[in-house]
Structure formats: structure tokens, C-alpha cells
Amino acid sequence: MSLNSPVSLLWAHQLRREHATIVAQIEELKALHPSASEYKRLLTRSEKAEATCNKLRKEVAELGTAHEKTVKVIERLTKDLQVKENAHRANVAAREEKEEGLQLEVKALSEALTRQQGELCSIADGVQNVQNQVEKRNEATEQRLLQGENGMAELRRLIEALDQKIGDAVTVIKDSVECTKPDGQFLFDKVAISDSSS
């Protein structure tokens, strides 16, 4: 066949296309499979990345251990807090109960004080009435005492007047007896004895 024949031209064209495709595939394979230096560089990077990954794994393990410890501490603190909250609630309940008891006692004391105040007012009124009655009685007693003193003074005056009259009468009797009896000495002694006995 001639090179310029249509079949030859067609095959040449087909071969060129296949050649271009193969060249492109080879370039792609080259891109997929790096060179030795590139491979070495990638291997070094891979080793560094693995070392970094191991370091990160170790740090993650340490963080996990620290996290577990922290979780345990938090759980313990939560339990302690729960215990303290329960104790606080119990204390608050006891305090509220105590305050209610104190309020009831205060209320009872207030009522008792109110009753006692009423009783004291009643007693004070009674004492005031008794005091008024005593003052009235004292005034009446003083009036009676004054009247009694006046009566006693009158009685003393009357007794003194009576004594004066008796003395005058005795003097008159003495004088009359001494005058009428010749032996008047005996009669005078008798009158004197009776006068002294009276």
C-alpha cells in the first residue's frame, strides 16, 4: 500500500490518536507514581506524620486518662454536693419547723399576755375601787374619830364640871356638917373617908 493511500492515511491518523492517548496515560501514571526522590520525600513526611500521630495518640490517651480522673472527681464532687444539698434541705426543713414552733409559742405567749393584761386591768380596777372605798372609809373613820375626840372633849369637860360640882357639894356638905354637929370631928372624918374612896 502506498503511504498516501486513504487507508494508510486513516491508519496513520488512528495511530496518532492512540499514541496521544497512550502518552496521556503514561503522564497520568507518572503523576500517580512519583519519582524516587518524591517518594523518599513523601516517605519522610509520612514518618513524621506517623510520629506526630503517635504523639497525638499518646496525648489523647493522657487526655482520656485525665478526663476519666476529672469525671471521677466531678462525680465525687456531685455526690458531695448532693449530700450537702440534702443536709441543707434537712437543715432548712428543721429551721422552718423550729420557726413555726417559735411562731406558735410567740402567738400563745402573746395571747397569754393579752389575757394577763386584761386580768391585770380588771385587778387594777378592783384595787382602785377598793382604794376608793378605803379612802371613803378612812374619811368616815376620821370624821368619826373627830366626832369621838369632840365627844371625849365634851365628856372631859362634863366630867371636870361634875368633879367641880361634886367638890363644891362636898365642900358644902363639910361646911354644913361642921356647923350643925357639936362633935363634928367624927362626921368630918367620915365624910373625908367617903370622899377619898369615891
Q: Cell numbers for 67, please give them.
A: 478526663
pLDDT per residue as tens digits for the range 10-61: 888 888 899 999 999 988 887 777 667 777 887 888 888 888 888 888 988 8
The C-alpha R_g of the chain, in whole angstroms, comes to 75
Q: Rounded to an integer, what distance in angstroms lies between the CA atom of residue 181 and that of residue 160?
A: 31
Inform me whether the pLDDT recorded for 194 exceeds 60: no
Q: Rounded to an integer, what distance in angstroms lies between the CA atom of residue 179 and that of residue 191?
A: 14
pLDDT per residue as tens digits for the range 78-128: 999 999 999 999 999 898 889 888 899 999 998 898 888 888 888 888 888
Report yes or no: 155 and 180 within 8 Å, Cβ to Cβ: no
Q: Residue 5 gets which letter from DSSP?
A: S
Q: Rounded to an integer, what distance in angstroms lies between the CA atom of residue 46 and that of residue 34?
A: 14
The predicted pLDDT at position 191 comes to 47
Q: Between 195 and 109, where is the model more confident?
A: 109
198 contacts: CB under 8 Å, gap ≥ 6: 166
- Residue whose cell numbers read 393579752: 114
Torsion angle of C-alpha atoms 163, 166, 172, 175, degrees rounded to 10: -80
Domain limits, the chain: 34-197
Whole-prediction pTM: 0.34
Report yes or no: 178 and 184 within 8 Å, Cβ to Cβ: yes
pLDDT per residue as tens digits for the range 131-152: 888 888 888 888 888 887 888 8
Q: Cell numbers for 20, please give them.
A: 496521544
The predicted pLDDT at position 144 comes to 81
Inform me whether the pLDDT recorded for 188 exceeds 50: no
User: Which H/E stretch holds residue 4?
Assistant: none
User: Which H/E stretch holds residue 132?
Assistant: helix 36-180
Q: The dihedral of CA 126, 128, 130, 132: what is its sign?
A: negative
